[in-house]
Structure 1
């Protein structure tokens, strides 16, 4: 989403006859201000502890002065100078901005940039001033301090997300646009745990409808599985509705409604208020790093990078897969043995189940799993189709009678999938990727779904950390296609970390 800060033009002014409904003139929401103070307190504590603690780690408890040919400084005063400069840089880089905290990686990137700037400028200053700082001091203060700040920011983020699941620390949002666009944005916001917005109302673009047709459009219902959102206005009453509902954010959904001039006039109406204007980009399922803004002659052009399915980063991904899978196979070999014995003792059948799956570019391979079903599971599948709880091409059944006793435990914690590390090591699969499909599934794919086969299937993936078997077919496809077009090594590490958390708190595995 793109945030547009309304320009202040003087309290109570109007522009081209546009009426304004003024909210209390406050630059920050109360929750954001309180959260910012908490971040400031933790940043200050970590930075002071790090900079002063580095003295004792480097010099012990002896009196330490900075030897210098030009400037004499005590290390205690030096630490206070560094701490103050560091905190000033964190503020200058807006690391506590309400728009970046709690979501995405921008907050962390700004913390790293502010830290690098601080130590870079101080290094130049000390060099010019001929202040000889012990390298051991910086070796301790820089990495430990930055790691400490990032870690506490992560802890605060976990706390904030937890609070938001209970409808605390949320921005009250009014969503504006055509019905389908508004409905999509509302569902996306409400279905994500820890989303920053609480949608309190919607204003619809009724187009050229008048009279009964307009009333019928405004009487439609916008609802998500979590809650129903009232339609409170058409486009003419957006600013008044925002004031009435106490909304601190107006989200314009989809393409510019009623012509490009609407957004400009809406920004005029919100001038001088505490309400932010946010544009929900129509570029859904395109990751931020692929989007670049390029203003040309006053036109805010958006450049979208085309996905690349060959090249250096794919070679690096393969090397990472090979190394990690090899190490994991060595470390987990005792667990492999325990699971193998348990499967064998359960019903005296074979330990490993192999099945043909479709990999990259449609090439087939044998995928390995610890057997979790009875020996004639495939033969009994046809008789269970009437009890299928899945959608699309997937067969799902919560209490599948074909699953063995030990198989239920293995599936709950995804231990049955451990042998796929062999597939990763051999190069048939990747550690992270789309779900490996059956040949029968691929035969029923729509044209666009074949894009899942552009990269190797994964041992884990977006589907694994977003609901697993509880996902619908459409949602599973959407997540896989998003990954195919937007994956990165950093994103893979995040998914792997989230997979560990999912396995310790299993949901949707059956």
Structure 2
């Protein structure tokens, strides 16, 4: 996950680690005595400016390329009106990005919200452009709506993704992190510290802690992070240390009045106050803050298992599976020949799995083991390396030579596209369990069966078989609870990288 940079109380060293390196070199010196340090402001501003410039250049490039290509083919009609449409398209896209807050620092570099806002901006620009074309009775407007705008969306999303990869690489090396002061009970703060260290790409580094009694454990630290004061000292410590984020975790000592007073005291400090709700695993699409009777309440909507979005997901599943089967048909024929040539047996392996609502179905895979492998499983039970209810062996003697390669890059799962096409599976969803596994599920884990199992999912892009059982279950339940079309798109995009790396596949 990259080298961990141990938190320190040395402000000068914190600034040095927090600065952004090439291609955005820092020009800010060390803070003088008495000056409030703001370790993360510089690199955040530089990254935001880079994103804005990249979006603008990418949009201009697409508009110029399309305008130049079609203008060269139809030079007689390439006049001032076309130039106005080209300039207007770029202006609309950039304006929509600004209006949708697609450059807000809080969404840059993490989560699906960045791409959701980007997509919403481009869609808004297309709608406004079409309305403008109707009003102006322009016959050339279709080119910009159906060619230029989708091309801009593709190029800008690719550019954003590449910038995000660079940022995540920097964060795994201990750079471009937002210094965080965590305030709450020792147990909840420990959980926050563990999550920040496990997922450095999210950009948080907990550098100081405030607890109800101002005490740590033994040497005055919590998991290596210094305890700098009580909950009443948070605002003072923020101004002294220049922390970028104040993460408030649950603690009995927090009251509405104390939290409100803390928010007032942080005004003008450049620190962002983040309050962790008790429902830690509920994602943003299901959360909404409402004022009821003058009291701010966190409204949690129910998970979506039916409705229009599910219909869209089903259509995308079947159309996507059909297109992928056509695309991979030559590869699948070639793999089938290799499987037959490598060892006796059939091309496909069929196995009963449990799907939505506990209904069993037959899953299809390319055969990766010798014939009769299932009967030899009992003899290998003592060597099981799988987590929880899973049975896995890193060096399974039943796996063939071709099968080892297919498993490493998950190519053996391509026939599951037939399961997606027939409706028993989805492109994205929880892992389909075996009947004997699901028979041992408790009430909580059985919530995985509320949706169709998936060809890929959060488990696949997060480590697959290397994940502890509890983490795999948590990811599946998180998907079931917080599913969205945007999350599906992100998972599908990240699956390609996970497959190419082969991490956790055996």
1:64 & 1:453 partners in 2: Cα distance? 58
- Which of 26, 39, 45 lines up with 1:33 in the alignment? 45
1:471 Cα shift?
0.6
3-state SS in 2 of match to 1:332: helix
Q: Which runs of 5+ in 1 are unaligned?
A: 1-21, 68-74, 207-213
- Which of 381, 384, 387 lines up with 1:385 in the alignment? 381
1:251 Cα shift?
0.8
RCO (CA 8 Å, sep 6+): is it higher in 1 or 2?
1
Change (3 A) 1:351 1:254: same
Any residues of structure 2 matched to 1:472-483 within 5 Å, and which?
472-483=468-479
1:49 & 1:326 partners in 2: Cα distance? 33
Deviations 1:123-171 (A, max 9, x none): 889999x897953674466454454444433332222222222222221
Say if 2:415 is the partner of 1:419. Answer: yes
Are the equivalent residues in 1 in contact too, given 2:349–2:364 (CA < 8 A)? yes
State the partner residue of 1:180. 187
Deviations 1:382-402 (A, max 9, x none): 333333223321223222222
- Which of 267, 274, 279 lines up with 2:270 in the alignment? 274
Change (3 A) 1:367 1:149: closer
State the partner residue of 1:170. 177
3-state SS in 2 of match to 1:302: strand
Any residues of structure 2 matched to 1:309-388 within 5 Å, and which?
309-388=305-384
Say if 2:199 is the partner of 1:192. Answer: yes
Are the equivalent residues in 1 in contact too, given 2:188–2:249 (CA < 8 A)? yes
State the partner residue of 1:459. 455
RMSD of aligned Cα (Å): 3.5
State the partner residue of 1:10. none
Any residues of structure 2 matched to 1:109-508 within 5 Å, and which?
109-112=116-119, 135=141, 138-139=144-145, 142-206=149-213, 215=215, 222-223=222-223, 228-254=224-250, 257-508=253-504
3-state SS in 2 of match to 1:390: coil
Deviates more, 1:151-160 or 1:77-86: 77-86
Change (3 A) 1:237 1:135: same
TM-score by length of 2: 0.81
TM-score by length of 1: 0.80
State the partner residue of 1:106. 113
1:422 & 1:51 partners in 2: Cα distance? 40
State the partner residue of 1:72. none
Are the equivalent residues in 2 in contact too, given 1:218–1:231 (CA < 8 A)? no
State the partner residue of 1:24. 36
1:387 & 1:268 partners in 2: Cα distance? 58
State the partner residue of 1:70. none
2:283 & 2:442 partners in 1: Cα distance? 23
1:54 & 1:323 partners in 2: Cα distance? 29
Are the equivalent residues in 1 in contact too, given 2:193–2:206 (CA < 8 A)? yes
